[in-house]
Amino acid sequence: MLGGSSTAIHAVDVVDARGVRHELVLRRFIRPNWKYPGLARREAKVLDLLERTGDPAPRLVAFDDGPRETDVRALLMTRLPGRVELAPKRIEPWLRQMAEALPPIHELAVAGVRRYRPYTDPRDVDVPSWSKEPRAWQRVLDLARTQQPKTARRFIHRDYHPGNILWSRGRLTGVVDWISACAGPPQEDVAHCRINLVRLHGVSIADRFLVEYASASGTSAAEYDPYWDAMALADTGFGGHPGSGTVALGPRGLTVASIRRRLDAYARSVERRG
């Protein structure tokens, strides 16, 4: 299946002894940085928690964290209806539904999930060498190195972005890839989604998503601290390659150069708000 930058994702159809066909997804942890123990068990635990809530997430079927029965560590789950949509014909309902799906996720119980930790220490990050806005980037990194604003600790997806959301006939049908779920700041989900929207469509679309999220969560976009956007820029790296899945499903003309221009524009935007 397209996507799966960290793991290999396979569509699997299984016919049981009664002749009933089950549409499943097999996730295989084959990438060098994703072979360490516990990953399949971690996502299995999260999917088990989500099944009790009715959240639009896959249901756990089985996992092998040995590996004992599979060639590599793997997780088997139900296949949700829908497909990834990175270039919708109507962007407003696309943004609104993505925003509306987040507050219910943040209301889930945090018991039994690990605590949030940034992927990267912003003190170890330098201004990207390709940037034409080094001053803006430096100020963004300075902001990311300040103390994290006080915020509630909630259940968060931790990798919430359009590539992990499924659609059918203009309706959001599911959220996938829960391996990074943890207890942390809900603003992290917002910031992570925003930086991915910047890469796909630009700063204005990311800003419209923030307005939709504020409306869905009963807050104000003005309350959103730019620290979270600065941290997302420092935390997720500055790579400009769109990836094969994004090229296949994303907007036309998406290139390394266009993504870097948008990230520069985003750095300027975060600098102004910071």
State pTM to two decimals.
Answer: 0.92
User: Same domain, yes or no, for 152 and 138?
Assistant: yes
User: Same domain, yes or no, for 72 and 91?
Assistant: no
pLDDT of residue 60: 95
pLDDT of residue 71: 86
Please determine, for residue 246, whether its predicted confidence score (pLDDT) is greater than 80: no
Average pLDDT over residues 232-244: 72
User: Same domain, yes or no, for 105 and 238?
Assistant: yes
Average pLDDT over residues 6-23: 92
168-196 confidence digits (pLDDT tens): 999 999 999 999 999 999 999 999 999 99
Among 166-175, 229-238, 253-262, top mean pLDDT goes to: 166-175
User: Same domain, yes or no, for 164 and 230?
Assistant: yes
User: Same domain, yes or no, for 70 and 99?
Assistant: no
Asked if the structure places residue 225 within a domain, the reply is yes
**Domain ends where: 78, 106, 122?**
78
74-87 confidence digits (pLDDT tens): 999 999 999 999 99
Average pLDDT over residues 60-65: 92
User: Same domain, yes or no, for 89 and 74?
Assistant: no
**Domain ends where: 60, 78, 96?**
78
Please determine, for residue 31, whether its predicted confidence score (pLDDT) is greater than 80: no
Of the pLDDT bands very low, low, confident and very high (cuts 50, 70, 90), residue 233 is very high
User: Same domain, yes or no, for 145 and 237?
Assistant: yes
Q: How many domains does the chain have?
A: 2
| Best CA proximity match to 242, nearest among 187, 201, 189, 192 | 201
Percentage of the chain lying above the pLDDT 90 cut: 73
Q: Which domain holds residue 59?
A: 8-78
